Homo-oligomer: A and B are copies of this chain.
Amino acid sequence: MPTLRIGLIGTGFMGRAHSNGYRQAPRFFPLEWTPELTAVCGRDGEKTQRFAANWGWQHVETDWRALVRRADIDAVDIATPNNLHHAIALEAAAAGKIVLCEKPLAMNVAEAEEMAAAVARSGKPSMVFFNYRRVPAVALARQMVEEGRLGRVFHYRAKYLQDWTMNPALPQGGNTLWRLDGEAAGSGVTGDLLAHAIDLALWLVGPIAEVSAMSETFVRERPLQDAPETMKPVTVDDACTFLARFENGALATFEATRYATGRKNQNTFEINGEAGTLAFDLEDAHQLQYYRHADDALARGFRTIQVWDSKHPYMQHWWVPGAAIGYEHTFTHAIADFLGGLATGEKRVPDFADGLATQRVCDAVLAAAADGRRHTIRYTATA
């Protein structure tokens, strides 16, 4: 069985999630390619050594360029803050590596276009870790849409609500809070949360034609994590909302925030079609709500599909009906899907072109929030 030798850059939360995925995928899925945990790169050598020991990475690097140049690496997995995605991806693609990248793909459309062009030139497959496509309930939703169970779509509504930055004393920057620092993150909830919501919308309903937006930064300055006595203006959006019209005529609302008290990871969507409705909430990720208009009127109602039947996406590889899986499994699925696509040449995962499409919508949303106008998305235009 061929192996894919992975070089991972980043030892934070996402580095951990990816490492677990590489370890678990071959245990549960009948893969035709085996991932090999060849090398990991982190800035802090000692911490990276411990990380490597825990997860079974064979080699350690502290300079990402050194990792990218290693001859014993087939694929570079970018799990760094957003501001490094572009540089790493370009070098990795130039070095002929497969490139896998955490979302959002880039800081902006300009970067994303160069990255998509680079992997296109390299002729190698790519993946953006839009892991929520890999929740079985979400994959089931997509399957049901493709089977025509919704018919003409009228509405889409998406929320991604969290509350972890409400405390004004929470600092920004540093190792763990770079998401609050505009220089490292590019944007706030738009890149972090809306990017997920937009990717799902494009996957489930199709291209978004136009957007109107409003956003807000509720806490306007925060101390630095690495220099707590220094206050620095917050340049990222704390909350961002937008209205959209899809190319197919469906009307949509989107909202993301880190100020929705009590909501921890409420990534939701609802699709209303003439034949039925689907609704999902990541906080109850094992369920998909489904209303089938054709059911007899006496006994019709929203069905709570518990997505753990062996016929449901991914689930035959895990346990039994009634035995839920969790968050980490979405990364295992992404990796299994990617490796499965390697074997067949089939596109099974969101690639850099998809990451770019999402970035186009993100940038249009930020522009619309800034100028108060409705913006049209052109997927083929350059920045």
Contacts and interface: CB of A to CB of B under 8 A. Distances in A.
Interface in A41-66: 54-55
A105 interface: no
A253 B251 contact: no
Interface of A: 13, 17, 20, 23, 26-27, 54-55, 140, 143-144, 149, 154-155, 157, 159, 161-164, 166, 212-216, 218, 239, 241-245, 249, 251-253, 255, 257, 259-266, 270, 272-277, 282-285, 287-288, 290-293, 295, 297-306, 308-309, 311-312, 318-329, 372-374
Contact of A302 (B26, B242, B303, B311): B303
Given A257-B155, A274-B166, A373-B372, A301 B297 contact: no
A36 to B, nearest CB: 15
B159 A157 contact: yes
Nearest to A259: B154
A303 B300 contact: yes
B372 A154 contact: no
Contacts of A301: 262, 287-288, 290, 303-306
Given A212-B213, A303-B303, A326-B326, A259 B155 contact: yes
Contact of A283 (B305, B309, B322): B322
B154 A257 contact: yes
A371 to B, nearest CB: 9
A292 B285 contact: no
A24 B303 CA distance: 35
Nearest to A298: B311
Given A154-B260, A264-B321, 18 more contacts: A143-B298, A157-B255, A164-B321, A213-B243, A214-B243, A215-B251, A216-B245, A216-B249, A263-B272, A264-B306, A265-B322, A287-B301, A288-B301, A298-B311, A298-B312, A302-B303, A325-B328, A326-B329
Interface centre among A27, A311, A321, A322 (most CB of B within 10 A): A322
Contacts of A311: 297-298
A149 B322 contact: no
A157 B239 CA distance: 13
A327 B321 contact: no
A245 B303 CA distance: 31
A113 B285 CA distance: 43
Contacts of A251: 214-216, 239, 241, 257
Contacts of A272: 161, 163, 257, 259-263
B253 A17 contact: no
